[in-house]
Amino acid sequence: MPLLQNKPFLAIAFTLFLTACSNSAQRESMEQDQPTTEAKEKPSAEMLSLGQVVDQYLLLKDALVASNAQEAQAKATSMLEVIDATNMMEVQQSAKQIAAATDLETQRAYFDSLSIHVYEHLEGQGEGEKTIYKQYCPMAFDNRGAFWLSNAQEIRNPYFGDQMLKCGRVEETIEY
C-alpha cells in the first residue's frame, strides 16, 4: 500500500511533525526568556550607580576624617554628580547640605543623615563582590552616637577626626 493512500498514517505523521516543531519553538522561546549566566552575573545599572555613590561617599568620609572642610565640600559636590543619575533623593539632599556647608561641625551633622540614607540603599542588596563596614561611635553628637560606612575594618572616625580618630567599633559587615 503506497504511503499517500494510507490517510490515517499521514494524519498521525503530520500531527507528530507539527507537535515536534511546536515543542522546539516553545523551547527556543523559553530559552530566550531565561537570562544567560553572563547576564545574571553582570551588575545592574542600579547596582553600578549605587557602587559609584558609595565610592564617592567613602572619599567624603576620608575628607571628614582628615578634618578638611574644603575637601569635604569638594567631595560632596563630586558625589552630587554621581547621584544625579540615580533615584536617591534623600542621599542627594544630604550631599547638597554638606556641599553648601563651610564648617566641619555642620558637615559632620549632615554626614550623619547621609550615612543613614546610603546605608538604607545598601541594606538587603545581597551578596556581592564589595565589602563595607558599618562602624559606630557612641560619643558622637554629645553621646547620642552615630554610625558611618567604611571600606576598611580599621576605625577612622569622621565625626572627630584627629581628636578621637580611633573611637568606634565595627557593628556590621555588608556585602553588595
Question: Tens digits of per-residue pLDDT, 163-175?
Answer: 999 999 999 999 9
Q: How far is 50 from 87, CA to CA, in rounded Å?
A: 10
pLDDT bin (cut points 50, 70, 90) of residue 118 is very high
Q: How far is 148 from 3, CA to CA, in rounded Å?
A: 81
Kindly report, residue by residue over 32-89, the tens digit of the pLDDT: 544 443 444 555 566 678 999 999 999 999 999 999 999 999 999 999 999 987 889 9
Give the pLDDT confidence score for residue 35 in this predicted structure. Answer: 45
Question: What grid cell was written down for 44?
Answer: 545592574
Give the pLDDT confidence score for residue 174 in this predicted structure. Answer: 94
Kindly report, residue by residue over 59-68, the tens digit of the pLDDT: 999 999 999 9
Give the pLDDT confidence score for residue 86 in this predicted structure. Answer: 85
Whether 121 and 91 have beta carbons less than 8 Å apart is answered as yes
Sign of the C-alpha dihedral, residues 121, 47, 175, 108?
negative
Alpha helices (runs of H) in 66-144, residue ranges in sequence order: 69-83, 89-100, 104-122, 140-143
Q: How far is 168 from 156, CA to CA, in rounded Å?
A: 8
How is the chain split into domains, by residue range? 45-175
Check residues 139 and 5 and name the one with the higher pLDDT.
Answer: 139
Opening angle at CA 122, ends 120 and 127, nearest 5:
145
